[in-house]
Amino acid sequence: MTLLGKDLPAIKNIKILLVDDDPVILTLMASILRKNGYQFASASDGLEAVKKLEQDDTFSIVITDINMPRMNGMELLKHILEFYPQTAVIVTTGFSREYSYMDVIKAGAIDYMTKPFDTDELLAKLHRVIREQTMVEQLEKMSISDGLTSLYNRRYFDLKIMEEIHRSSRHHYRIFLAFIDIDNFKSFNDEYGHQAGDEVLQTLGSIMLNCARRGGDWAFRYGGDEFAMLLTETSEEQALMICERINSSYKENNFGSTSLSFGLGEFHRHEELDWYKDMHLFLKKTDDAMYKAKKGGKNKIVIAD
């Protein structure tokens, strides 16, 4: 449609969650979205919205009222920012004096509307939000890949691991992380040159991509000669099997004295810790396992305690 412009994604790919305890407002917004081709779902308060997000985390935008029973819009906004950071939130209210525009924006909403609003205002705000999301996505695609190996880079690893940790906790599945270090890489690089060293890095990157399960595993160049594989919805046996497959494929290339050392760790949620401390504990124990592999003779896989 011309409303969005040629550089924006098709409306049919945008999914919106409407949250309001007033059935008249919900019906009005639903009618506007339906006429303009958007996918949408509705919730009558914040708690119902949380349940819908748990069932389907692909909503691009949430439009929520502030004053609602059980969980209000500001509480819902805080929840979305923590668990669904890629989802934009537009806040609406019929009581504009209770929260100012700046209050809502500082809290993390991307926009604010005062009731009553009309069709043009709602569509204009959606247009702006979608345009901004698209620009961010395009910039991210340019900045999340490693140029040499075509794997995701460290920047994207830092974003993705927290996202996948939250997702695994919501959906109650196991998640593993493998850190992979190329043994004796510096001496190989010094002896054979940087071009040969680049070939080693590129080959390992290709092997990791070939061994990754589509939609379930994420391969990264973590930095220098260190790589990482995030393995979701899997068991320890399957995660170990993928590491062994990577190691076996790498050995077939016979890159001199180089070999691979692996540390394999599983995420466990500790309720007494905040999410970031829990994530760093996960990274540290996996990294420690990798260094145990290196100190224990290299060319092996060590599972974290």
Residue boundaries of the structural domains of the chain: 11-141, 154-303
* Architecture, CATH, for domain 11-141: 3-Layer(aba) Sandwich (3.40)
Residue 223's beta-bridge partner residues?
A: 226
- Amino acid in the structure at residue 83: F
DSSP assignment string, 7-30: TS--GGG-EEEEE-S-HHHHHHHH
Sheet with 226-232: list strands edge to edge: 217-223, 226-232, 175-183, 259-266, 301-303
Q: What is the pLDDT of residue 2?
A: 33
How far is Cα of residue 278 from the mean position of the Cα atoms in its chain? 17
Rounded Cα distance between 20 and 120, Å, is 20
Quick one: CA torsion of 93, 99, 101, 102, rounded to 10 degrees?
-150
The token pair at 166 is 């939250």
- More confidently predicted of 175 and 4: 175
Q: Confirm whether 11-141 and 154-303 share one CATH topology.
A: no
Q: Are 228 and 222 in contact (CB under 8 A)?
A: yes
* Residue whose structure tokens are 């098709």: 10
Residue 167, beta-bridge partner list: none
Residue 13 has pLDDT above 50, yes or no: yes
- CA–CA distance, 260 with 258 (Å, rounded to integer): 7
Distance CA 87, CA 109 (A): 10
Tokens 């509307």 sit at which residue? 113
Global pTM exceeds 0.75: no
Confidence of residue 216 (pLDDT cuts 50, 70, 90): confident
| pLDDT in the model for residue 59 | 93
- Residue % of the chain over a pLDDT of 70: 95
Q: How confident is the model at residue 103 (pLDDT cuts 50, 70, 90)?
A: confident
> Which residues have CB under 8 Å from 30's CB, separation 6+?
18, 40, 42
pLDDT at 7 over 60: no
179: closest CA among 138, 221, 150, 215?
221
pLDDT of residue 95: 64
Q: Could you list the beta-strand ranges (E) of 75-225.
A: 88-93, 111-114, 175-183, 217-223
DSSP character for 213? P
CATH architecture of 154-303: 2-Layer Sandwich (3.30)
